[in-house]
Structure 1
Amino acid sequence: MRRVLVAGALTAGVVILPAAPAMAAPLTIPGVGTFEIPDIPGLPPLNIPGVPAPGAPLAPQVTPAAKAVQAAESKIGAPYVYGASGPDSFDCSGLIQWAYKQAGVSLPRTSYDQAAAGTPVSRDSLVPGDVVSFYGGSHSGMYIGNGNVVHASTSGVPVKVAPVDSMPFDGARRY
């Protein structure tokens, strides 16, 4: 008799209780595989430091060019010294080389070598971080957007921002 009551109660429970919707979220572990992880309502989310929550937007990646622009702009006002490559004073190519070094990128030291390396870029395709050559390659600056470059121009003039059009454009390179 007890067996009949248990069986009846189980059957009634299955018939009376609605089924919960099956919810699962895929979890991919690189090198291991993808797994369906059930979502349990009412369970607090698992927060792991340094790991974005599922569905959370990823932090934007800062490119080496953007880091170089930030580094170069941080030196606006630093003195020009011929042959100097930072961190306190610069000549034109020294500023460019130093800024990219802060971003983990190795560039040639002289303006002429900077104008010959990298990937050629047209004036119409300039993006922040491009190295712009002027005066036949004897001077370099870094394009920072909005038609401007940051550069170390000459003795007595500190690192400054100037319009690209303020000097005779010779070419540009992307690193």
Structure 2
Amino acid sequence: MAHLDLHAKAEIGKSLAGFALGEKLQSFLHYVDESVDGNKIPWNVDLVNNNEGVLLYKWGSSYGNGYAIFFKNPTLELSFSEQGTLIFIEVGEGYQGEIFDGGIKIGSRIGDIDHALVLDDTEDAHYLADDKGQFIDGIFFFAGGEEVIDNPDATIGVVRVYNYNFK
């Protein structure tokens, strides 16, 4: 059963905040305070910004089908496939667990990550890189959207652990 853990260490492509990718939507429904049907209420960022608890949003067809659960505190998004399988977990403010080896957490300097990073400037996200400079799937960080060499002091504000291959 799904269990929020603000101190759980991230596992690349597997888990974050005590939740495991591949879990089913049903195991998260006990957290939900409010539900919004995207076929009746179109998506807008105010739905999340004005959320005071735990919001379940069912994506309408214009954004593809699926579900998302948004927590207000800590800042947390769980995204599910159309079949109700957890495909990504994204955390921000309030999450205290280690997101990468070496004590890297939300609020840490991006320059403190002891691993090669590559910036995807279309998303302003930093991905771990292999020895050929290719993205390593399973995790990325948002930390200001600049190359690490240009701003190593940028702080990590959000991290996402993902596996988009789940159905």
TM-score > 0.5 by shorter chain: no
TM-score, normalising length from structure 1?
0.26
Richer in strand (by share): 2
Relative contact order, higher structure (CA 8 A, sep 6+): 2
TM-score, normalising length from structure 2?
0.27
